[in-house]
Structure 1
């Protein structure tokens, strides 16, 4: 039995002042309502799907007890994977015929490892892991193949399949998290992946210590908190990073700016910052952020993507599954959901090979 069938909400999703039982159930229903019969979870009805946000929504469904729906989402990823292990950046319908964006972005491809490990920790289904392991292996082999000198991962592939010569800090931090989850799967299966171990060590060092190796996107809040969320930084370095730009990105009472010089707060970035804060022991601030963004909640339980506070206007006028998903995952972590804590707390995820000082 599941939340949308009218039974009890999983206790970790009950967070006083943020979500009660009926509110959780409504938010879960808002994601389920967008999932297509083939398992795909688009941003919203009529919108496109990207593999990263699709996976985030699937993880939220698992945290809510909707395991069958989450498994359908992973089945969609398995069926849609390209032969080289990648996915395209955007889809309207299942399969190649519905591709809306033929670009290939490496962090989109790697994130399947985070979702698959989260699902396995939630359900303990070795059969699921057997089915998804080849998908994860191809995806991470593809991603590691795009590693640049010095450790960063090229953020995309050119049309001829050549990795771009540039890396994004946010994307590489997300890939670091995915590689650590992939190594956890490999350890569980007793199938060592030495190439991933080396790539993980090099990438961790680059994200934590060499910002000059990435494109300068410092205007974006994701570049601020993702080295923490992606597990490259933990206390006290993580707290120093959070404090350094808190006033630049955080708008008290409203949430987190997407871009530092724009009067626009977004639910997804706010929920992810809350998750990063929780990961480094800042529980009270995490809960406060989640309370603030309830002004983005729609009466049906879904969440608006963002709010332009200078104009007192919702923008864009869309309610996205990934915004709801990010919120549910942050609440699940704060509530002590074991799988979500293990994945985003990252304390037990393999670190890869230590390479500090090597380059």
Structure 2
């Protein structure tokens, strides 16, 4: 268990909601799902994808399970392809979907930066930097002229579609990658321009993204990923609060279905915390605890119209989202501000209106 200088434990806890021991048990439940290769599948016997795998590794480092976390990062380093990408889906050592997902690739930067924030380990950053650099170069090879980033590449080429949620997460990945570049002593000025172009598209050009307004992630992810903050973000939350939030249970994954999901609820907790809406964030965090299993893991969701858990699985990434939300709410580790600090520079929102002379479509 990680300890502060005074010897006190530093595992997150949210008083009255989640104790240190309960949070640690959740971290161990994730570790129990980890395969000998270091991969962390969705659930025992399930598939592994590169994004959720990294999120689970982040939860492991927060709960002090550093050896397990670094085994997960080593799996990512080892399975990266020469072009910087990863296959979308593994099952054990078998590739089930060889296509690449730009958002999946970008998230390695978030994980490595988070590891640095929690541990201060610059050697780890140096070891992972070639992996991060190759991944982000791959991602930006899929950026469209308008700044949005296409979501996938397969044998037939790049998919001509950009996703709001995925691009919002990539925005965060780029912010983290630029910070890692500073530590590595390998500046990437072209990434900064790519980040501005992407943020501009997220803030000013929703029409370039495939419309998926029924999904809660498209509602809060531009905030979570740092592209949208301030008054506009608060208005965005207010506009669709009643569409997605189910009092006492969490939030819907899809606005018209009676299904609340733990990971989306915890991600909204992180977004609200980033906006300074702490009370609402804490209330939501408490509301989703009905998904907790006695072994410390979390069920993915609940169909509240009939009281049934669905899908019938306790997912590693739901448990990971709980740990990250607990850390953010409790300000426990050095990584607790990961999402609060994701905001794009404030002056960029004004630069969005600079006109054609800035070189970005407005």
TM-score, normalising length from structure 2?
A: 0.93
Task: Show the counterpart of 1:108.
Answer: 104
Task: Show the counterpart of 1:77.
Answer: 76
Q: 1:186 to 1:350 in 2, by over 3 A?
A: farther
Task: Show the counterpart of 2:114.
Answer: 118
Out of 316, 323, 330, the position equivalent to 2:318 is: 323
Paired residues in the alignment total 351
Q: Indicate if the aligned counterparts of 1:183 and 1:350 stay in contact, CA closer than 8 A.
A: no
1:294 and 2:293 equivalent?
no
Instruction: Give the CA deviation at 1:2.
Output: 5.7
Q: 1:8 to 1:324 in 2, by over 3 A?
A: farther
Where in structure 2 are the equivalents of 1:216-227 lying within 5 Å?
216-227=211-222
Q: 1:352 to 1:58 in 2, by over 3 A?
A: farther
Instruction: Give the CA deviation at 1:348.
Output: 8.0
**3-state SS in 2 of match to 1:253:** coil
Q: Indicate if the aligned counterparts of 2:181 and 2:187 stay in contact, CA closer than 8 A.
A: yes
1:248 and 2:243 equivalent?
yes
Q: Indicate if the aligned counterparts of 2:229 and 2:343 stay in contact, CA closer than 8 A.
A: no
Instruction: Give the CA deviation at 1:349.
Output: 7.3
Distance 1:15 1:300 in 2: 19
Task: Show the counterpart of 2:10.
Answer: 10
Distance 1:344 1:70 in 2: 20
Q: 1:184 to 1:353 in 2, by over 3 A?
A: farther
Describe the superposition over 1:189-223 as per-residue Cα deviations: whole angstroms up to 9, x where unpaired.
Answer: 23111221111000001111111110000000000
Where in structure 2 are the equivalents of 1:1-359 lying within 5 Å?
1=1, 9-11=9-11, 13-94=12-93, 98-160=94-156, 162-346=157-341, 356-357=352-353, 358-359=360-361
Distance 1:46 1:306 in 2: 19
Q: Which moved more, 1:206-215 or 1:13-22?
A: 13-22
Distance 1:152 1:132 in 2: 26
Q: Indicate if the aligned counterparts of 2:49 and 2:89 stay in contact, CA closer than 8 A.
A: yes
Describe the superposition over 1:286-342 as per-residue Cα deviations: whole angstroms up to 9, x where unpaired.
Answer: 111111111111111100000001111110000001000001101101111343234
Instruction: Give the CA deviation at 1:350.
Output: 7.0
**3-state SS in 1 of match to 2:112:** helix
Q: 1:229 to 1:286 in 2, by over 3 A?
A: same
Q: 1:352 to 1:65 in 2, by over 3 A?
A: farther
Q: Indicate if the aligned counterparts of 2:220 and 2:268 stay in contact, CA closer than 8 A.
A: yes
Root mean square deviation, CA, Å: 1.9
Q: Indicate if the aligned counterparts of 2:99 and 2:155 stay in contact, CA closer than 8 A.
A: yes
**3-state SS in 2 of match to 1:262:** coil
Instruction: Give the CA deviation at 1:347.
Output: 5.8
Q: Indicate if the aligned counterparts of 2:33 and 2:40 stay in contact, CA closer than 8 A.
A: yes
Distance 2:141 2:97 in 1: 21
Distance 1:228 1:197 in 2: 19
Instruction: Give the CA deviation at 1:25.
Output: 2.3
Q: 1:230 to 1:240 in 2, by over 3 A?
A: same
Distance 1:100 1:9 in 2: 41
Task: Show the counterpart of 2:357.
Answer: none
Q: 1:324 to 1:352 in 2, by over 3 A?
A: farther
Distance 1:266 1:16 in 2: 22
Q: 1:122 to 1:350 in 2, by over 3 A?
A: farther
**3-state SS in 1 of match to 2:335:** helix
Instruction: Give the CA deviation at 1:131.
Output: 1.1
